[in-house]
Structure 1
Amino acid sequence: MTTEEKILSTVNWLKDKMKETKTKGLLVGVSGGIDSAVVANLIKLASPDNCLGVILPIHNSSEDLVDANALCESCDIKKLTIDLSHENESILDKVESEMKELFIKENKKIVDANMRARLRMTALYSIANNLNYLVVGTDNAAELLTGYFTKYGDGGVDILPLANLLKNEVYEWGRYFNVPENILAKAPTAGLWEGQTDEKEMGTTYKYIDMYLQGKEIPQEDKVVIERLNARSEHKRTSPPHPPLF
């Protein structure tokens, strides 16, 4: 199938999901990155009159906010911005204060990062519940394989239209949609802290993850990293475990 045919098939799938769930529209959290850029374009095609791009900054860089707004304008999607910085600080400070000596300060950065993702999920579902929309996720095949998403955060969504796409295919779709060049050119990042990038955090590259998914040969050290990430994140891809029936 051509890129255009794959996109059309995905748009029709989104329409079918709306019919199946009897929902009125679709929304996505827009981060200023390539994955949410592609999803924003997809939901605009699938539900042009009832779609929404939600920008949820939590101490984000000004560059991310500029890119997120530019994306919404480029695909002509309605947007809503809700700054959650204060709420994130408030909860994090309260948890640390109440835990007192139990709080492990060395873990604060990762706690903060996951809290940001979960706060955004909570806000997205509050909006979606109010409008009777589906929350559309942005995870691609590489992120699902490695577990590069927060459980009950950016992994907490209703549907995942990019789930079968390699990262390089996401960029192909972005170029098809004429996503702004700033978004196409910048290093993928979840914007969790200053200088953070996906590849630095994972310890491998999207190129090698894509090749692994295609069954191609990659350096052994990268294969070890990818398989370790996959094993460690298995709990994110399955329902919570429960004991057997008595």
Structure 2
Amino acid sequence: MNKLDKDALRLDFKKTANEIEVFLRKTVEDADAAGIVVGLSGGVDSSLVATLSVRALGKEKVLGVVMPTAFTPSQDIKDAKELADWLGIRTELVDIQCIGEAFFKELHVDQKDLKQRIPMANILARIRMIILYYYANLHNYLVAGTGDRSERLIGYFTKYGDGGVDLLPTSHLYKTQVRELAKYLGIPERIAYKPSSPQLYPGHKATDEIPLSYEELDPVLVGLFDYRLPPKQVSQLTGVPIEAVEEVLRRFDRSKHKRAPPPMVKE
């Protein structure tokens, strides 16, 4: 192996889409559920999961929930609604800003304190989870998560927030693969290649918290976790500095608890 690049991330799009659709149908059937609810952000991950869900189950069995805050870009809301219209699915729009403000008020949160930024952001993510489960309970649906392998390996999700779901249909795909599969399935390129952001605080971008761009990160993750190569070799094969590769490993180790069930004394 001379290098690790986008060639290591090539997908058989038709096969991959079919596998996910079979998984979605079987999971819903095994749970005796009536359909799937997805939180729609206007980004690529949720757009792909919604699209695959419609292909697997039909538009009548998929509900999209749009949950903006005061600082969610209007274009994201527009993209979420337009994707839902394209798919022909029902949607609910729930502004979660006032719900979050109620939490912050009761907890006496100083919203200007930067140390509060991540705890506040996680509250908003968990509010979204609660709303999705309300609709899931109401309709006997399952909550489909939208996390990908890139995010899960470095712990870039909120425990019991966007990580609180019933199934994860795209968690085996790296972010760059998610983008390419979305494009293959006809999702507009402005969504497929939109910079990722959970929009949990003003100006929030994924690159604020992730040490590399996804185009740099994904080959590193493939080298470390698919090929099980040592960090130094991954650095050489990707051209990513060894310090950044080691930081990726640290993030994986620090976030193990987020990917595991709660530890118990006995089963």
Note the C-alpha offset of 1:229: 1.1
Query: Residue 251 of structure 2 is aligned with which of 229, 235, 241?
Result: 229
Tell me the residue number matched to 2:175: 167
Q: What whole-Å deviation, never above 9, does each CA across 1:78-137 have from its counterpart, x for those lacking one?
A: 21111111011111111016xx9xx99442211111011000000000110110001000
Tell me the residue number matched to 1:204: 212
Q: Does the CA contact (< 8 Å) of 2:44 and 2:193 recur in 1?
A: no
Query: Residue 52 of structure 1 is aligned with which of 40, 63, 68?
Result: 63
TM-score by length of structure 2 reads: 0.85
**Distance in 2 of aligned mates of 1:233 and 1:214:** 18
TM-score by length of structure 1 reads: 0.92
Q: 1:1-246, aligned counterparts within 5 Å?
A: 2-48=12-58, 49-59=60-70, 60-96=72-108, 105-215=113-223, 216=234, 217-218=237-238, 219=240, 220-243=242-265
DSSP-derived class of the 1:214 partner: helix
DSSP-derived class of the 1:107 partner: helix
For structure 2, the 5+ residue unaligned runs are 1-10, 224-233
Instruction: Count residues with an aligned counterpart.
Output: 241
Q: Does the CA contact (< 8 Å) of 1:27 and 1:43 recur in 2?
A: no
Q: Does the CA contact (< 8 Å) of 1:74 and 1:179 recur in 2?
A: no
Note the C-alpha offset of 1:75: 2.1
Q: What whole-Å deviation, never above 9, does each CA across 1:49-79 have from its counterpart, x for those lacking one?
A: 2111110112212121111111112222221
DSSP-derived class of the 2:51 partner: helix
Tell me the residue number matched to 2:231: none
Note the C-alpha offset of 1:186: 2.1
Q: Does the CA contact (< 8 Å) of 1:74 and 1:180 recur in 2?
A: no
Q: Does the CA contact (< 8 Å) of 1:55 and 1:82 recur in 2?
A: yes
What amino acid sits opposite 1:12 in the alignment? Answer: V
Q: What whole-Å deviation, never above 9, does each CA across 1:110-169 have from its counterpart, x for those lacking one?
A: 111101100000000011011000100001110110000000000000000111101111
**Distance in 2 of aligned mates of 1:14 and 1:185:** 24
What amino acid sits opposite 2:84 in the alignment? Answer: C
**Distance in 1 of aligned mates of 2:191 and 2:222:** 25
**Distance in 2 of aligned mates of 1:96 and 1:104:** 12
For structure 1, the 5+ residue unaligned runs are none
Q: Which stretch of structure 1 is more off in the superposition, 137-146 or 225-234?
A: 225-234
**Distance in 2 of aligned mates of 1:8 and 1:243:** 40
DSSP-derived class of the 1:29 partner: strand
Give the % identical residues.
Answer: 34
